[in-house]
Amino acid sequence: MQIGPIVESPLREASLEALFERYQKADAPAATELIQRLSPDLLRFFLAQEATRMEADDLLQNTWLRIHKARHTYRAGAPVLSWVFAIAKHVRVDGYRKRRRIQQYEKATENLPECSSSQDVAPAEVPMFESLIADLPESQREVLIMLKVNGLSLEEVALATSSTVGAVKQKASRAYAKLRKLLSSSGSWGTTRKEATGTR
């Protein structure tokens, strides 16, 4: 999905909640402003899940299609980020399941042993944060991405993942503990943790 050039919009100062309410009423400029504001964060969310750029673009497009279909279910005044990222999470899971079904079918119908092609589509250079979290359990990786890449609050992540703030804190804490253990031998934990966690 191509994200068009950002143009000056009279709606730039409007809150996401106000924009979404106007979008529900078929306000085209509000829809455009929402897409311009949210698409970069959604794209980062998908790319950080080890998807290729093409897969991330597909997931982004599917997310906006699903948002459009479900826009009437958004309740006025509710946090838009949590609502949108909950949809993005489901789109990503559905996309992963679809890719697995395709891969299983290809393996079942392939006569010759299949060589791994993951290296062919992997980016040449993996950013530090993504490489650090690659081996974390999916639920912990997802929480860290929402918190540290997309800048969601604990409350927003809890809503987006249908969880509690306490559970989000616990997942983040366990993720940091695993990263600390992974990096302790190299002595680079202090520096890397600052890069990975950032500040709110």
174 lies in some domain: yes
Tens digit of pLDDT for each residue in 168-180?
999 989 888 888 8
Is residue 22 in a domain? Answer: yes
pLDDT value for 199: 42
* Number of separate domains in the chain: 2
Is pTM beyond 0.75? Reply is: no
Instruction: For residues 69 and 151, state if they share a domain.
Output: no
Are residues 134 and 40 located together in one domain of the fold? no
The parent domain of residue 69 ranges over: 10-123
pLDDT of res. 18: 94
104 within domain boundaries: yes
Query: Could you tell me if 130 and 174 lie in one domain?
Result: yes
If DSSP states are collapsed to H, E and C, what string results for the chain?
CCCCCCCCCCCCCCCHHHHHHHHHCCCHHHHHHHHHHHHHHHHHHHHCCCCCHHHHHHHHHHHHHHHHHHHHHCCCCCCHHHHHHHHHHHHHHHHHHHHHHHHHHHHHHCCCCCCCCHHHHCCCCCCHHHHHHCCCCHHHHHHHHHHHHCCCCHHHHHHHCCCCHHHHHHHHHHHHHHHHHHHHCCCCHHHHHHHHHCCC
Which of 123, 147, 177 delimits the end of a domain? Answer: 123
Q: Are residues 118 and 86 in the same domain?
A: yes
In a domain, 5, yes or no: no
CATH number at residue 37: 1.10.1740.10
pLDDT per residue, tens digit, the chain (200 aa), is 555 554 455 677 789 999 999 999 999 999 999 999 999 999 999 998 866 888 899 999 999 999 999 999 999 999 999 999 999 999 988 877 776 666 665 555 554 445 444 444 444 443 466 777 777 888 888 888 888 888 889 999 999 888 899 999 999 898 888 888 877 755 544 444 444 444 44
- Residue at a domain's end among 66, 99, 123: 123
Whether residue 47 is contained in a domain is answered as: yes
d(CA 154, CA 168): 7
Does the residue 1 lie in any domain? no
| pLDDT attached to residue 148 | 82
Tens digits of residue pLDDT in 82-104: 999 999 999 988 877 776 666 66
Residues 144 and 113 in one domain: no
